[in-house]
Amino acid sequence: MDYDQRLLELRKKEDQLFQKERAIIKETRKLEEDLNRFEAYSYDAHRFLWNAFESYPSSRNFFDHLQEEALHESRKISTSYLEEIDELAIQKRTIEDDLNDIYHERKKLNFEKESDDGNRSLSR
């Protein structure tokens, strides 16, 4: 396979990886925004529970239990968001490694091509 063909294939692969990377970045931002929105809702829910408790202090056990359950569920959901974000970060690092490999392969091919072109001009 000639250099130009190999370089073309590397560029196509590189473009595909850049598109995947952009999609991962977009998905990560969406998850981070969703997480922030969820945490704001969670904060509001805790505040409403506390306000309700202040209105009905005789039901302390009920509100303590409700608050504990809400906090537990909130942590579970936040953790799932964070795990998804971590998984996307791992995928992004893998793509960055692949892009780095392609960069070095292209650099090597360009060097080989220049060397061959230089040898051809010397043999003439």
Tell which phi-psi region holds residue 87, choosing left (phi > 0), alpha (psi between -120 and 50) or beta: alpha
Answer yes or no: pTM beyond 0.85.
no
Q: What is the mean pLDDT of the chain?
A: 89
Assigned token pair, 90: 């791992």
CA atoms within 13 A on the CB side of 116: 9
pLDDT digit string (tens) for 54-96? 888 788 888 888 888 988 999 999 999 999 999 999 999 999 9
Is residue 9 within 8 Å of 119, Cβ to Cβ?
no
d(CA 111, CA 116): 9
pLDDT at 38 exceeding the cut of 80: yes
Q: Which residues of 4-16 are buried (b: 16+ CB within 10 A; e: fewer)?
A: eebeeebeeebee
